[in-house]
Structure 1
Amino acid sequence: MHIAIAGRHKKNLNQIRNEMVGLNNFMGRVSVLIANAFVTDELDKITSKSRVLLNFAGPYSWFGSQVVESCVRNMCHYVDLSLELPWVVKMIAKHNPRAVKNKTRVVNACGFHSVMSDLGILSAVSHVKNMMREEPQECIGLIHHAKSGVSGQTGPECMLENFKRDNKQYYEEMKSDPQYYTPPHLTTGRDPPDPANAVYMKDLRTWTSPTLTAPVNSRVVRRSGAVLSYGDKFTYTEMVMNANWMSAKLSSSKLTWSGTGGGSGVKHGERVDPSKAFKKQTFEMMFFAKCSNSLNKRIVCTVKGKGDPIYEVTARIMIEAGILMSKFQESLPMAGKDSYGFHTPATALGFPLRERLKQHAQISFSVEEMDVDG
């Protein structure tokens, strides 16, 4: 498998590659390719010779449209980190038929934020359906802790904030429809609106609060649930766990994504050694599925890992997604015509991605049954 890095500035790319050689000699074999995200010919030269393109360059509503178009035209599989679902919906309407015809996979929202939610709920739902022989309902994702970012804000969060500011109408349209991202022929109308305030979850005995990225993650998971047939009673809501009412109230007013606040301690613009800067960072998230018959029981998938979620973990997720789509397509969950076109991480990559993250990124996905108050 041959790997290349691409961008507008050759000098900067060479500098990045040379710096990375000090961490891994393999980087010396990585090619440098030059392309502007707005120049079709330059993009086509890359996508026509590539099997998979991993796009880290957002905001995608600014820089991603022609990259997606070039990938679909040249039958190059595509993966990005986009939380800008209104932009993704536009791309689906414009390019999905051709992507299916050209046998091309397009996977959006494949960063830490959405992948943990998508695979965590996939794991919990699978246990309910296959081990309990029941139907999942009232599924909930709770972020226990996940600190990251420069000065407390992450790259994807910044992109989402920029998109909200520049595309307020489309963002509000997304927020007003809980199943905005669900294929129209699969919508049910069951999912509730996004939580706006602190909520006490009696059966789980915890205070919760909304997060900035939950509206996006929830819609990604709901799309996966519809496409993968999680069941007629399936719904999904995502919140942050808090120690008490006051912290939930404060978290609601700040609307952070981690809930527990705090950044990495890295100042904006500061150069860091990625092998050292975030090694003490950890994250933990819990995904609950209520059983249709065993009403006093919840299935919980606990996701834990080490490393900075946004920089280190997201990079690992994207790399593992690229490896799967490049070398192990036969292992992916969907087959035939349904495997092509636009996908969520769960519908395109599913359990194979989860297993690679467990093996190569030291992320654990543990599923257990727990009793709760009725």
Structure 2
Amino acid sequence: MATRTYDVVVWGATGFTGQWVAKHLFDRYSKKQLRWAIAGRNEEKLRQVRHFIGDAKESVDLLIADSADQASLTAMAEVTKVIISTVGPYSDYGSLLVKVCAMVGTDYVDLAGEVPWMRDMIDEYSEYASKSGARIVHSCGFDSIPSDMGTFYIQQHAQQHFAESLKCVRYTLIKAKGGMSGGTIASMMNVIKLAVNNRKVRRLLGNPYALNPDLKFNGGDKRDQTGVRFSPDVQRWTAPFLMAGINTRIVRRSNALLGFRYGTDFRYSESMATGAGTKGYLAAKSISLGLKAMTLTSVTRLGRSVLRRFLPAQGEGPEVNPDSPGFYVIQFNGETRGGESVVMRLKGDSDPGYGSTSKMLAESAVCLAHDSISVDGGFWTPASAMGDALLTRLQDNAGLSFSVITDND
């Protein structure tokens, strides 16, 4: 690793999120602090990324690597410590790179939210990664760092103050301003398409512990919220949270990889708040029905085609306003087995769909490249791989803040 040319390479840098990852690295780190490059299959588009990030001196190196060309991916992996992959849907474009990184011992982070694909990668390449020393960490963006690291943080607080872990943690998205990238939407549709055509995938998606090392593990969690519920935690109506299907699985995998630090009976859930009173209830009902309608529409090729007309295309994203970068606020509520309660707020200073995601992904890669990380090669989660080191980076460099509060103000 010490002899490799780059600390970090951003693969898929020409896409919407990839450009913002590159911009964060360019703005945050000098060449002396971080040796990095951008990569993709089109040299001209990579040169345009240099312009986007403000690299007038063309100081950032360009690497050519294609998702279908193992030789080019291997050449890229062999010269870097960590690869950031922003190329989704990952089940279409990401598998070969994971294989290559696992084989040549290159650390890897991505934005994957595709549970079936991640399960396949874990099952197929864990042995390679263990032998080579490659640390593979999926879901290092809004899926699922706030969930995973927020739970890690509140659990640490409970251990420090009550000398025991929290038996349950509930995540509620209080408010957010931002939009989704086309890559995220394409990945979601791809998962639905796979589920329609494959009974095994449907069973996996219905398993709350689909990403646990032991697929037969059965804890206290059931299916994710699908309808409207009133939350005593935030005193508001809540709707199903679109990202819960991936976030909850990552948090439960972290618990297992951390030696069930939170307990074998630990429970975790996610929802999004819509407001109080009739207005809040109707908003939650509308979101619930809308998600069900989108899922049903995505089942057919025609339905997916119709949805794509109204949603950002792959490689595109929401309109960016520098004067209004977006934000999000998440509340975590938990109770220990002894009856103590903890309430924690996590705040992000940018649009969760690209601004905050790009910073979290970039800092995860830098954490693996530069910080003292004790885990060996294998497939990890953000919390189980990077823990306190990543918590520090997220707060120092990625605009996240974690704070324990005493009430729901």
Q: TM-score, normalised by structure 1?
A: 0.86
Q: Which residue of 1 aligns with 2:303?
A: none
Closer/same/farther in 2, CA of residues 135 and 318 from structure 1, 3 Å limit? closer
Cα deviations by residue, 1:17-70 (Å, 9 ceiling, x for unpaired): 12322xx56x73110111111111111111111111000011000001101111
Closer/same/farther in 2, CA of residues 210 and 271 from structure 1, 3 Å limit? closer
Cα displacement (A) at 1:109: 0.8
Q: Which residue of 2 aligns with 1:159?
A: 187
Is it true that 1:354 corresponds to 2:354 in the alignment?
A: no
Does structure 1 conserve the Cα–Cα contact (< 8 Å) formed by 2:170 and 2:334?
yes
Q: Which residue of 1 aligns with 2:111?
A: 81
Q: Which residue of 2 aligns with 1:65?
A: 95
Does structure 1 conserve the Cα–Cα contact (< 8 Å) formed by 2:170 and 2:269?
yes
Alignment of 1:1-374 (within 5 A): 1-21=34-54, 28-149=58-179, 155-168=183-196, 169=198, 170-184=200-214, 187-202=217-232, 204-228=234-258, 229-243=261-275, 244-255=280-291, 276-277=321-322, 279-294=324-339, 297-328=340-371, 330=372, 332=373, 335=374, 338-370=375-407
Cα displacement (A) at 1:234: 1.1
Which range moved further: 54-63 or 228-237? 228-237
Cα displacement (A) at 1:369: 4.3
Cα deviations by residue, 1:291-332 (Å, 9 ceiling, x for unpaired): 2112xx52122111222212111111111111111111x1x3
Secondary structure of 1:54's aligned partner: strand
Distance 1:126 1:132 in 2: 10
Closer/same/farther in 2, CA of residues 227 and 109 from structure 1, 3 Å limit? same
Closer/same/farther in 2, CA of residues 157 and 367 from structure 1, 3 Å limit? farther
Distance 2:234 2:397 in 1: 32
Code of the residue aligned with 1:163 in structure 2: it is V
Q: Which residue of 1 aligns with 2:300?
A: none
Across the aligned residues of Structure 1 and Structure 2, the Cα RMSD in angstroms comes to: 2.4
Which range moved further: 41-50 or 276-285? 276-285
Code of the residue aligned with 2:330 in structure 1: it is M
Which range moved further: 39-48 or 354-363? 354-363
Secondary structure of 1:231's aligned partner: coil
Cα displacement (A) at 1:167: 4.1
Secondary structure of 1:349's aligned partner: helix
Code of the residue aligned with 2:140 in structure 1: it is C
Code of the residue aligned with 2:282 in structure 1: it is M
Structure 2 unaligned segments of length 5 or more: list them.
Answer: 1-33, 293-310
Secondary structure of 1:6's aligned partner: strand
Closer/same/farther in 2, CA of residues 252 and 154 from structure 1, 3 Å limit? farther
Secondary structure of 1:245's aligned partner: helix
Secondary structure of 2:238's aligned partner: strand
Q: Which residue of 1 aligns with 2:306?
A: none
Distance 1:141 1:272 in 2: 25
Which range moved further: 44-53 or 206-215? 206-215
Identity among equivalent positions (%) equals 30
Secondary structure of 1:193's aligned partner: coil
Q: Which residue of 2 aligns with 1:263?
A: none
Secondary structure of 2:223's aligned partner: coil
Does structure 2 conserve the Cα–Cα contact (< 8 Å) formed by 1:135 and 1:233?
no
Q: Which residue of 1 aligns with 2:17?
A: none
Does structure 2 conserve the Cα–Cα contact (< 8 Å) formed by 1:298 and 1:369?
no
Code of the residue aligned with 2:184 in structure 1: it is P
Structure 1 unaligned segments of length 5 or more: list them.
Answer: 257-265
Cα displacement (A) at 1:342: 0.4
